Structure 1
Amino acid sequence: MIRVFVYGTLLVGESNHHVVAPYVLSVRPGRVRGALFDAGAYPGLVLSGCGGETDIEGEWLVVTQVGLNRMDELEEYYGPGARNDYERVWVRDSRREECEGWIYVWNEPRGYPRIAGGSWREYARRKQELGSML
């Protein structure tokens, strides 16, 4: 069993959860410290170094090895030292230190706008509502 923190499209009910759903053994809410950025259809997370880190809302998924492999494919993670879109690093929950696992992160914001509030789900909902008003 492998624990992974997700904060964007892999959340239960979001657009890419189907990629990992067959391999999920359990789901638990969680938070990590960092900053979220809007890359359009998905977020990126930077753990530190960009100032103003906040609690990022997400879920701890316990997955099988096949589930982790599927997530690696989606996140374009090819292993340490490779040209990855995201890096996979070890992190602890910001409120429950006993809860730790993998997370996919960026090393820098890449020029994308910052998402205030720490919740991709809430941000995406507001973004969709605004888009439907145009």
Structure 2
Amino acid sequence: MNTLRSRPGALPMTTQPDRHVFVYGTLRRGEANDINRLQPAPLYLGPARISGALYDLGPYPGLVLGGADQVQGEVYAIAPELERQLDVIEEVAPVPSGEYVRRHVELEFDGRLLRCLVYEIAAQRVQGRARIRTGDWLRRR
């Protein structure tokens, strides 16, 4: 399984400059905001995990990065136009709602490093919310 982890510093020169996103909730395949229904179409690269805690916010989850637990998700290559759409869906643009924050983390994927966009929930938004212990939004039911 591919694992996502935060690491300081620049990416090695061998890493491609493509845009990638790690999705863990309603943007996953078959979910309410399935990224595959957006245009331009993303390229599915595969499943991955990220270190963090997943919280149930009712119709969608929130991810707090870090810690020993793992959160299951999917990695996609995306175009800049799609990245802008994701920012609107996650309400970080054009006017940030304060619920999610854009983060960039490195993903070790098939022997290479990918810089991935991840939308992290603001910590105050998960206070008092149930944790999804499996780390998998699709298995929460």
User: Do these two structures clear the TM 0.5 threshold for a shared fold by scoring above it?
Assistant: yes
Q: If each structure's strand is expressed as a fraction of its own residues, which one has the higher value?
A: 2
| TM-score normalised by length of structure 1 | 0.77
CA contact (8 A) 2:53 2:63 kept: yes
Residue 32 of structure 1 corresponds to 50
- Identity score, percent: 32
Gaps of 5+ in 2: 1-17
CA contact (8 A) 1:24 1:61 kept: no
Cα distance in 2 for residues equivalent to 1:117 and 1:106? 18
What is the RMSD of the two structures over their aligned residues, measured on CA atoms?
2.4
Matches within 5 A, 1:17-96: 17=34, 21-27=38-44, 28-48=46-66, 53-78=68-93, 82-93=96-107
* 1:18–1:58 Cα change, 3 Å: closer
Task: Provide runs of 4+ in structure 1 moved above 4 Å.
Answer: 94-97
Cα distance in 2 for residues equivalent to 1:120 and 1:65? 26
* 1:121–1:76 Cα change, 3 Å: same
Q: If each structure's helix is expressed as a fraction of its own residues, which one has the higher value?
A: 1
Gaps of 5+ in 1: 128-134
Deviation string for 1:10-54 (max 9, x for gaps)?
001111015753223311211110000000000000003xxx641
AA aligned to 1:111 is: G
CA contact (8 A) 2:50 2:72 kept: yes
AA aligned to 2:52 is: G
CA offset at residue 102 of structure 1? 0.6
Aligned residues: 120
88-97 vs 52-61, which moves further? 88-97
Cα distance in 2 for residues equivalent to 1:112 and 1:103? 20
Residue 19 of structure 2 corresponds to 2
